[in-house]
Chain A
Amino acid sequence: MKQSAVDAVIRGLKKAGVSIVCYLPDSLFKELYPALDADPDIRTIRVTNEGEGAAICGGVFLSGKRAALVMENSGLRASVEPLARMGLGAGIPVVMLMSYRGELGENNWWAIPHGITMEPILDALRIPYRVVREEDAIEQSIIDAYNWSYNAYYHSAIALGGSVVR
């Protein structure tokens, strides 16, 4: 990611009121994670799998603070169980920011499943999402996701793809 895209993500998170980020690092967001770690206004929590991160974000919601789950889109598959239980069972929302691995242009065979499964899984869970491929749209998209999730009390997702992450 370019530094300008990293900056746009962090601006969006801050404008949305996020103070805690749970993440499991990936390669497309490689530059984002240390920037989040270094930001004095954001507490980062490194997790062992994205499902654990989703549950921690749910707990943060209950505290009145705002959290984000940052991950590769493969982490969505690891998160389905807690997302279904928290979102559909209790109305506890998690806002996700994920890198779009496996979209057209992907040149790693192992990432193809991530692209094939991401949108059907989001649709199956009825999670609204926006794929953002223009740097100018990052900040407002993150703000929009929080506005929606804090009125729906349900999950939403932003997937960053295209030249934003490559």
Chain B
Amino acid sequence: MKRYDCMTRLAARLRDELVILSLGASVDEWYNAAPHMRAASLFQQQLGCVTPQAFGLAAGLPHRRIISLDTDGGMMFNLGILATLGNEQPKNLFTVVWDNECYQSIGGPPTHTAFGRVDIAAIARGAGIDHAYTARTLEEFDAHCAAGLAAEVPYLVVAKVAGTVQPDIRRKHSDGREDKYIFVRHVEATEGIVIMGPSEHN
């Protein structure tokens, strides 16, 4: 199963959701797989921060569906967030973990999930996220997207994907700071709120 194909399936289901996503090659893949979600996606380079940030966003906007696109390396960097989600039970957070069993962006050395013992979905269930599953086919992944986007409880799917990157895709040119401004202005416009307002004086 290719991550890019999973992304196109997920993207086809999204309209006014907000997305926080992880670092590495998945950034450019999501940028291309979901062009209509570019302003609604926060592209960050923050190992271990993705699902916690998505949960913070979900806590602040409880009426809005939030999607975390995390990774095996990123989730294992901070497994504690699974226990926090288990206790807090957010009703509007759908978490996808792209599990390619390697640190792809630095050339592919294995992560802990590569050896057949570590099961992130099982860890999540043990942490109190009852709806935590592993998808190995596009059809399974797509079905979990449908269920996860409609769930009233935290929902997590680990997508077992190949360690390859979609070839010949356009690179995103903006950095984390520009991405934040784009995202914040999108949240402001769609929520009718001010997050980064004017100074007292010009």
Q: A interface vs B, CB < 8 Å?
A: 20, 43, 45-49, 51-53, 55-65, 67, 81-82, 85-86, 89-92, 151, 153
B49 touches A62 (CB 8 A): no
In whole angstroms, what is the CA distance A59 to B47 when docked?
14
Select from chain A the residue with minimum beta-carbon distance to B87. Answer: A46
Q: Is B179 an interface residue (CB 8 A)?
A: yes
Contacts of B87 in A (CB 8 A): 46
Chain B positions within 8 Å of A, measured between CB atoms, are: 20, 42, 44-49, 52-61, 78, 80-81, 83-84, 87-88, 175-177, 179-180, 183-184, 187-188, 191, 193-196, 199
The answer to whether A86 touches B49 (Cβ under 8 A) is yes
Closest chain A residue, CB of each to CB of B58:
A59
| Chain B residues within an 8 Å CB radius of A55 | 46, 48-49, 52-53, 56, 78, 81
Contact status of A20 and B59, CB under 8 A, knowing A89-B177, A90-B176? yes
Query: Can you list 10 A-B pairs with a CB-CB distance of less than 8 A?
Result: A52-B80, A55-B46, A58-B56, A59-B52, A59-B55, A59-B59, A59-B60, A63-B59, A64-B195, A86-B53
Contacts of A62 in B (CB 8 A): 42, 53, 56-57, 60, 180, 183-184, 187, 195
A49 CB contacts on chain B under 8 angstroms:
78, 80
| Minimum CB distance partner of B54 in chain A | A59
A144–chain B nearest beta-carbon distance, Å = 14
B87 to chain A, nearest CB (A): 7
Residues of B within 8 A of A43 (CB): 59
Chain B residues lying within 8 Å of A82, measured Cβ to Cβ, are 46, 48-49, 52
Please, how many angstroms separate the alpha-carbon atoms of A55 and B78 in the complex? 11
A65 surroundings in chain B (CB, below 8 A): 59-60
Q: Is the CB of A64 within 8 A of B188?
A: yes
| B56 touching A57, Cβ below 8 Å | yes
**Which of A60, A89, A153 is the one whose CB lies under 8 Å from B56?**
A60
B84 and A60 contacting across the interface, CB-CB below 8 Å? no
